[in-house]
Amino acid sequence: NAKPIEARYITRLILGELRIGIGEGNIRDAVAKAFDVPAAAVEHAFQASNDLGEVAVLAKSGVGALETVRVELFRPVKMMLARQGTIAAMLEEERVLAAEYKYDGTRFQFHKKGSECRIYSRKLEEVTKAIPDVANMLLEATTHDAILDGEVIAIDEDTGRPLPFQYVLRRFRRKHDVEGHMQKIRLVPNIFDIICIDGRTLIDEPFSERRKILTESVSRYVAPQIDSDDIGTIEAFYRSALADGHEGIMIKSRSAHYTPGVRGKEWVKIKPAVDTMDLAVIGAEWGEGKRAKHFGSFLLACRDELGELIPLSKVATGISDDMLDILYEMLKDIVISESKNTVTFEPDTVFEVGYAEIQKSPTYEAGYALRFPRFIRLRDDKSVEEIETLQSIEARFAEQTKRLQG
């Protein structure tokens, strides 16, 4: 008996996506103001617990209660994120930098207590049963109760080189015939951070100290790293990463704390220059010819200031036949409407898309369009909440215009 507007918000409540322009930052500030505690204390407690409800209850008792919050085993926290940047700019901020390979895989968080372990995806979903081989590798290699942060990649058995991201995806999404796919696709974890050890929370320790604890606590699978103050040395490390088949390198501040869910300036990714953005898949058109039984092109959206999804571009180029198979199996069950040759999806999927430039356009509601959009990869590790915003696209367009005008 719900009215249309009531039905809309009942549905959004069920999906956990109200889209009313209120984010975690708004709730944090409201809790801080309501109970007269510093917003920084609320934020720190939330980073450790990933539970705003619990934090709000503790805030009622004051700062002291918030300071008791610790990272706990088997309660995953959001993963620290990186931004794009340059080696030179990072060296201006810090004299000596840490550099690691940037892997084309899937981020994960490993929790171990005694003989029990669990693995969580970037979306904080447990995936232990899908990759039991990785769980066993890390269980044997980790000598303490701990929470580890890393990336798992697929390896070609013949060459030892990394395989494309979609091979990892096939393992992570697997619910049936896990054993069979373990034999077909070999996964290798790469650990680059430690968040907790033997009940001690490490997010406030500098990265150099966390790295020391990590190498002392994990016997294998620790990601290679160099420390250097020389741009030439770091650039040579970058070239070796590309030669080994990896995406690039990560540059990290050795003094940085671990800030869950934050894309700060302390971690920077260095990759070959290609402009990309992450966008939500909200619809598709059926393909033609040999692709007639698959979705052929996809409608992509960004988020506006209220969190609403607004169309920005379509993409069809760069998607292999194998990936079209994967996408069809993923998306066919979340079709919410269909009209002639087009379908609309429940917004749950994220694409990374490359493009030549951003153009103003009346075609899409966003007011912009991507010129020569090209599918880069499926971002199964990202949620729709993490996609590009209209504000950031406007900033990119302004920077692009400035660059083109010299």
- The tally of domains found in the chain comes to 3
Pick from 43, 67, 91: which residue ends a domain?
67
pLDDT on residue 151: 97
CA atoms within 13 A on the CB side of 57: 6
Chain Cα centroid distance, residue 55 = 24
243 or 274: whose pLDDT is higher? 243
The percent of residues in the chain predicted with pLDDT above 90, rounded, is 68
Q: In whole angstroms, give the CA distance from residue 100 to residue 225.
A: 5
**pLDDT tier, 402 (very low <50, low <70, confident <90, very high otherwise):** confident
pLDDT on residue 388: 94
Which residue in 3, 33, 60, 102 is the catalytic one?
102
Range of the structural domain that residue 136 is part of? 81-270
Chain Cα centroid distance, residue 267 = 14
DSSP code per residue over 85-140: --HHHHHHH-SSEEEEEEPSSEEEEEEEETTEEEEEETTS-B-TTT-HHHHHHHHH
Do 264 and 280 share a structural domain? no
Hey, which residues does 145 pair with through a beta bridge? none
50-59 average pLDDT score:
93
For residue 138, give the nearest of 244, 222, 75 by alpha carbon: 222
For residue 218, give the nearest of 120, 160, 153, 149 by alpha carbon: 149
Do 240 and 137 share a structural domain? yes
Chain Cα centroid distance, residue 102 = 13
pLDDT of 62-119, one tens digit each? 999 999 999 999 999 999 999 888 899 999 988 899 999 999 899 999 999 999 999 9
- The two tokens of residue 146 are 């701990």
Do 203 and 93 share a structural domain? yes
Do 245 and 210 share a structural domain? yes
Hey, which residues does 109 pair with through a beta bridge? 120, 149
Domain with residue 362: its CATH number is: 2.40.50.140
344-365 average pLDDT score:
92
- The two tokens of residue 218 are 């994990």
Do 216 and 161 share a structural domain? yes
204-208 average pLDDT score:
97
* Residues found in the chain: 406
**pLDDT tier, 199 (very low <50, low <70, confident <90, very high otherwise):** very high
Is 102 catalytic? The answer is yes
What secondary structure letter does DSSP report for 75? Answer: S
Do 347 and 315 share a structural domain? yes
291 SS3 class: helix
Q: What mean pLDDT, rounded, does the chain reach?
A: 91
Q: In whole angstroms, give the CA distance from residue 331 to residue 166.
A: 16
With a cut of 90, say whether residue 393 has pLDDT above it: yes
14-21 average pLDDT score:
69
Do 226 and 201 share a structural domain? yes
pLDDT on residue 355: 92
Do 342 and 298 share a structural domain? yes
Rounded to 5 degrees, what angle do the CA atoms 237, 240, 242 make? Answer: 115
Pick from 67, 95, 119: which residue ends a domain?
67
Domain with residue 191: its CATH number is: 3.30.470.30
Pick from 67, 98, 118: which residue ends a domain?
67
| Contact between 354 and 275 (Cβ < 8 Å) | yes
Instruction: Identify whether 75 is part of a domain.
Output: no
136-154 average pLDDT score:
97
Do 96 and 63 share a structural domain? no
For residue 150, give the nearest of 80, 99, 92, 217 by alpha carbon: 80
Do 248 and 305 share a structural domain? no
Q: Scan for tokens 């931004």, then name that residue.
A: 83
Instruction: Identify whether 73 is part of a domain.
Output: no
Instruction: Identify whether 42 is part of a domain.
Output: yes
